[in-house]
Amino acid sequence: MLNAIGREIPLDILKRLKKEPFQGAYGYAEKSLRKEVAFNIVWPGTGKLVNSISEALVKAKFKDGMSISFHHHLRNGDYVLNMVLEEIARMGFRDITVLASGIFECHEPLLAHIQNGVVSGIHTNYMVGPVARAVSAGILDKPVIMRSHGGRDRAIESGELKIDIAFIAAPTADIYGNIDGTEGPSACGSLGYAFSDAKYAGKVIALTDNLVSYPVSRISIDQTCVDYVIKVDSIGDRAGIVSGTTRITRDPVGLKIAERAARVIETGGYLQDGFSFQTGAGSLSLAVASFVREKMREKKIIGSFGLGGITELFVDMLQEGLFRTLFDTQCFDLKSVESLRNNSRHQEISSSMYSNPFTKGAVVNNLDVVILGATEIDTDFNVNVTTGSDGRIMGGSGGHCDAAAGSKLTIVVTNLMRARMPVVVERVTTVNTPGENIGVLVTEYGIAVNPANEDLKKKLSDNRLPVLDIKELKRIAYNICGEPENLKSKGNTIAVVEYRDGTIIDVIPQFE
Amino acid sequence: MKIMKEAMAGSLESSDCLIMVKPSEKLEIEIESIVQKRYGKQIRAAIEETLDEMGITSGYYKVQDKGAIDYCLRARVQTVTRRGCEEQ
Amino acid sequence: MIGRSALFIPASSPSMINASIAFRADTLIFDLEDAVSIGEKDAARDLLDGALGQIEKKNLFIRINPLSSAFWRADIELFLKSGSQGIVLPKATPGDVKSVSEIIKQSNREISVVPLIETARGVEEITDIIQCSPLVSGILFGAEDYCLSMGVKRTKEGREIAYARARLANAAHAYGIEAMDTPFTNADDAEGLNKDAVLAKSLGFSGKAAINPRQIDVINKTFSVEAAELEQALRIIRAMEEAEKSGKGVFSLDRQMIDAPIAQRARKLIKRAQIWGEMSC
C-alpha cells in the first residue's frame, strides 16, 4: 500500500513487523509506555568484574536467538562489536540479532558471522562499508531495520525493541560499572547513544581498556545499570574514533552554498539572543556554522545551545561565549572530548533526550535551526541520506529526521549535482526524512523554499536571495546531467526504513 | 580517420573521464562508470555518436568515467581519437 | 562590457568548468594559456568547445595562448566558432592586437579584445595598444609577469606596481575603455583582497580579475556603484535636464557648479549601475 508520502510499502512487511505505514511527521502516536525491565539485584559483597567475554555470556545466560546491542561512539575504530561476535561464534551460538546504532567499515568481520548463521538480523541507524554493501546485495534473509536515533531510543524504551544484552564500549570504567567516556586511551567523549541500552537491556556488560579503582571521577553511565565489567586490551583504534579530520570545506562552490545558508538563517530572523543551532560534522555543515559564527559575532548574539555530534568549531563557539551550552551525544574530535571533560556547560545528554519523539519533549523540539545534508532530495522535499543513487545503502537517518521534525527551520545544504548525479530529483531512491519537515534547500544554483513556508520565501526574495522553485532546480540539474534511468528492483526487500515514530516510511528493495 | 597508435585523454578526476584507445580490427568500446546504473545508456550513446561523427569504425576504446557530463565525454573522445590517429 | 569581476577558469578542468556556471562573476575568462600544460592544449580546446555549447555566451571571454606560441591560431579558430563575447590576449603588443583584430573582425559580430598587459614594455606602449584596434574595449593588468619583466619582487602591498597601475588606469580613462586590475593571488585572504580592490578602485580601475570564485563577492561589492553615489548622479541628471529646458548651459546643484564632464561622469555611473546594479549572490 502507499503511505502518506506515496511510497509503496508491501502489505506482508507491515503484517510481519506489525507496523503501520507512515502517516505524516506528527500523525501517529502509539500508547506511550516505558518498558518494565527485569534485572538481577546486585547484593552487597558481590563483585562485577569477570575475566572474559565468554564468562560474562555464560553468567548472563546467553542463548541462541537473542539480541545484543552496541553503540557507535568508537565509530570506524570500534573493536568491541567484532570482539563480542567472535566469542559468540566461537561458543557456537546462532541466530543472533545485532542491534548496533551504527555499522562502519571496520565491522567487516560481521559478514562471516552472517554467512555462518551466527547473525541472522541487523537493526541499525546508519550503515556504511562492506556490511552495507553485502546487505544491499541480499546477504540477509530478514530485512535490516533502519531507524533514526530517536526512533531507536523510542523502540528500546517502549519495549518494542528487546535487548537481551547490551555491550557498552567503556573508555574508562571502575570495577563496579561506573563508566566515563572522556578518559582513557580510547576516550570518545559522550556516550549518549548507549544510555537507553544501559537502562533497558536485560543485561549490561561493559568492556573497558582503562579499568580504574572505584569510583571513576566522572560518571556518565552509572553502576545501577551495569551487570558485569570486563577488562580487555583495547576497545578501539584511536585513529578511527576521533579522527578529527573534518575541516571546513575549501571548495568555492561549497563555501558559496554555506554562505547562502547562513544568510537564509539571518534573513529568516532566527539570529537572535537565545538562538539554538545544530549542524552535522560534514565539511559543508561546518562551513555554514563558521559563517553563522561570524554573523553571531557581528550582531553580538548569545545563543542558548548548540546541539548534536559536537566538533571543535562548536567548542570554540562555546568558549567564545556564542553559546551558553552545548548538548552532546557524540564527540567528533579530541577537542570536544576535552571540552566535555572540563567544561560544565558542555553537557552530555542521552540520545533519547536529544531526539526520542515519544518522551515528554526531546531537545530537538527546542531547536531553532538545523543544517542537514542530502544524498538526494525530491521535488516534494523528501530527503534520502540512506541509499546512494545506485540504490545501495551508504548511510542512514541517524538524527536527520529527528532534528528535521523538531527544529523550527530545517535547512538542507547540498550541491545541485555531484559529478553527473543530480541531487535534486523527481523521486528519491529512499525517503528517510519527509518533505514536510524540510524548510529550505540551499544549492549553488539557487534556494528553494518549501511552499508551506510562504513568509520565509517572501523574506528571502525581498532580500534578493536567489529563490527558485524546487522543480526549476530539478530541471536545471536534469538539463545538465540528463534524465537518470530508473533503478530496476529485484522484487525482494533488503531493508525497512522506520520513521522515528515507528511507522514505515519506506522500504529498500534489492536492486539489480 | 583510423586509430593508428595507442593514446590517452582525460583524467580520473571527478566529473572527468579517462579514455584510452588502441588500434583494433573492429570497433570495441568498454565503459566503466560510477553512474553506470543511472546514465549507462546515455554515456554509450554519446561516445558512439561522437565516433560516428568522426567516421571512426575501428579501434579499442576503454572509458573510465568519473561522472563526466556529455560534452566532456564527447570532448575526450575527440581528443583521444585525434591523438590516436596522428602520425607517430 | 567586462564588468566588476572577471573570473579565470582553467579550460582543462571539467569540474571547474561545470562549477563556473553557477557563479555570478560579471565575466568568465576561460583560460587556454597558463592553466593548461603544453601537452593538453588540444584537450582543453576540445573540452571548451563542448562546454561552450551549453553556456550563455554573453560576458564570456577566452584567454588564448600568446602569439609567440604555436597554439594561438587554433585557439582563435575555437574562439570564432564558440561565439564568445571577447578574447583576452596575453603579453600583448600593439602588433599582436593588430594581427588578432584583423583576423576576428572578419566574423562580422561585435567582439571585444582585451589585451593583457604584463610586461614593462606593454605598460609603456599602452596608448599604442589601445589605439591600434577599435575592438579593444578594455585592458587587463597582469602583475605577476609584469614584476618578472621588471626583475622586482611582487609584494602584497603592491608598491612595485603602483606606477603600472596608475599608468594603465589613466590610459583606460583617456580612451574611454575599461581597466581591470590584476588578480589578488591569495584566495584565503579576504581582507587583503578587499584592501587591494579598494586601492585599485581608488586608482581608477573599473574592476578586478579573480582567480578563485570565493573572490567574486568582495570584488563585486567594491566595484559596485554605491547607493548614495547613484542617487547623487540621478539628481545631477535631473537638474541638468531642467537646466537644459530653461536654456542654461552651466548650472549648480547644492551650490556646486555642474559642467559637462561632471554630467558625463554621472551618466556613466548610472549606466554602470543599470548593468551591474545587482549585487552578486
Looking at the predicted structure, is the pLDDT value of residue A156 above 60?
A: yes
What is the secondary structure of C25-36 as a DSSP string? -SEEEEESSTTS
Place of cell 534556494: A447
Q: pLDDT-based confidence at A29, cuts 50/70/90?
A: confident
Looking at the predicted structure, is the pLDDT value of residue C79 above 90?
A: yes
pTM: 0.92
In terms of CA atoms, which chain A residue is nearest residue B16?
A419
Residues in chain B, pLDDT under 70:
87-88
* Secondary structure (3-state) at A416: coil
Cα distance between residue A338 and residue A332, in whole Å: 11
Q: Which CATH number fits domain B7-83: 3.40.50.720, 3.40.50.970, 3.40.50.20, 3.30.230.10?
A: 3.30.230.10
Chain A nearest CA to C214, separation (Å): 6
B66 interface with A at CB cutoff 8 Å: yes
pLDDT at C277: 62
Chain C nearest CA to B47, separation (Å): 13
Q: Which residues of B touch A511 (CB under 8 A)?
A: 37
User: Are C213 and A260 an interchain contact pair (Cβ–Cβ within 8 Å)?
Assistant: no
pLDDT at A354: 98
User: Are A256 and C279 an interchain contact pair (Cβ–Cβ within 8 Å)?
Assistant: no
- Residue C31: beta bridge partners? C10, C63
Looking at the predicted structure, is the pLDDT value of residue A2 above 70?
A: yes
CATH 3.20.20.60 correct for C5-223: yes
Q: pLDDT-based confidence at A243, cuts 50/70/90?
A: low
Residue in B14, B36, B37 closest to A419 by CB: B14
**Average pLDDT over every residue of A373-401:** 97
User: Are B15 and A419 an interchain contact pair (Cβ–Cβ within 8 Å)?
Assistant: yes
pLDDT, tens only, C140-155:
999 999 999 999 999 9
Distances (CA, A) of C232 to B21, C207, C236, C242, C252: 64, 21, 6, 15, 13
**Average pLDDT over every residue of A362-389:** 97
User: Are B39 and A481 an interchain contact pair (Cβ–Cβ within 8 Å)?
Assistant: yes
Distances (CA, A) of C159 to A112, A238, C193: 69, 50, 15
pLDDT, tens only, A409-430:
999 999 999 999 999 999 999 9
Chain C nearest CA to A445, separation (Å): 6
Give the best residue of A247, A255, A256 to mutate against chain C (max C CB count within 10 A): A256
A42 interface with B at CB cutoff 8 Å: no
Chain A nearest CA to C71, separation (Å): 30
pLDDT, tens only, B53-76:
999 999 999 999 999 999 999 999
Residue with the larger pLDDT of the pair A29 and A167: A167
User: Are A253 and C214 an interchain contact pair (Cβ–Cβ within 8 Å)?
Assistant: no
Chain B nearest CA to C213, separation (Å): 18
User: Are A464 and C279 an interchain contact pair (Cβ–Cβ within 8 Å)?
Assistant: yes
C54 interface with A at CB cutoff 8 Å: yes
What is the secondary structure of A7-63 as a DSSP string? -B--HHHHHHHT-PBP--TTS----------------TT---EES-HHHHHHHTT--
Residue A378's nearest CA partner among A439, A429, A420 is A429
pLDDT at C280: 34
User: Are C49 and B79 an interchain contact pair (Cβ–Cβ within 8 Å)?
Assistant: no
Q: Which residues of B touch A487 (CB under 8 A)?
A: 37-38
User: Are A391 and B39 an interchain contact pair (Cβ–Cβ within 8 Å)?
Assistant: no
**Average pLDDT over every residue of C122-130:** 97
Q: Regarding beta strands B7-10 and C256-258, do their DSSP bridges make them parallel or antiparallel, or are they unpaired?
A: unpaired
pLDDT, tens only, A106-140:
999 999 999 999 999 999 999 999 999 999 999 99
Tell me what percent of the residues of chain A surpass a pLDDT of 90: 93
pLDDT at C281: 31
* Secondary structure (3-state) at A361: coil
What is the pLDDT of chain C when averaged over all its residues?
A: 91
**Average pLDDT over every residue of C150-163:** 96
Looking at the predicted structure, is the pLDDT value of residue A76 above 70?
A: yes
What does the domain layout of chain B look like in residue ranges?
A: 7-83
Chain A nearest CA to C278, separation (Å): 9
**Average pLDDT over every residue of A343-352:** 98
Residue in A255, A466, A480 closest to C214 by CB: A255
Burial group, residue A40, by CB count within 10 angstroms (0-12, 13-18, 19+) = exposed
Q: Which residues of A touch B39 (CB under 8 A)?
A: 420, 481-482, 484-485
Cα distance between residue B36 and residue A485, in whole Å: 10
User: Are C212 and A444 an interchain contact pair (Cβ–Cβ within 8 Å)?
Assistant: no
Q: pLDDT-based confidence at A224, cuts 50/70/90?
A: very high
Amino acid A180 reads D
A391 interface with B at CB cutoff 8 Å: yes
User: Are B75 and C49 an interchain contact pair (Cβ–Cβ within 8 Å)?
Assistant: yes
Cα distance between residue A205 and residue A231, in whole Å: 11
**Average pLDDT over every residue of C163-187:** 96
The interface residues of chain B toward chain A in range 30-59, judged by CB-CB distance below 8 A, are: 34-42
**Ranges A9-23, A78-92, A211-225, C262-276: which has the least confidence:** C262-276
User: Are B37 and A511 an interchain contact pair (Cβ–Cβ within 8 Å)?
Assistant: yes
**Average pLDDT over every residue of A371-389:** 97
In order of their start, the domains of chain A are 46-240 (3.40.1080.10), 252-488 (3.40.1080.10)
Looking at the predicted structure, is the pLDDT value of residue A283 above 60?
A: yes
Give the best residue of C13, C47, C54, C82 to mutate against chain B (max B CB count within 10 A): C47
Residue with the larger pLDDT of the pair C185 and C228: C185
pLDDT, tens only, A302-330:
999 999 889 999 999 999 999 999 999 99
Residue in A419, A484, A487 closest to B34 by CB: A419
Q: What percent of the residues of chain B are helix, what percent strand, and what percent coil, each to the nearest 5?
A: 40, 25, 35
Give the best residue of C9, C13, C15 to mutate against chain B (max B CB count within 10 A): C15
- Upstream peptide bond of B23 is cis (omega within 30 degrees of 0): no
User: Are A421 and B35 an interchain contact pair (Cβ–Cβ within 8 Å)?
Assistant: yes
pLDDT, tens only, A442-497:
999 999 999 999 999 999 999 989 999 999 999 999 999 999 999 999 999 999 99
Q: Regarding beta strands A383-384 and A376-378, do their DSSP bridges make them parallel or antiparallel, or are they unpaired?
A: antiparallel
**Average pLDDT over every residue of A145-161:** 97
**Average pLDDT over every residue of C107-131:** 95
Q: pLDDT-based confidence at A263, cuts 50/70/90?
A: very high
What does the domain layout of chain C look like in residue ranges?
A: 5-223, 227-276
What is the pLDDT of chain A when averaged over all its residues?
A: 96
pLDDT, tens only, C215-233:
998 999 999 988 888 888 8
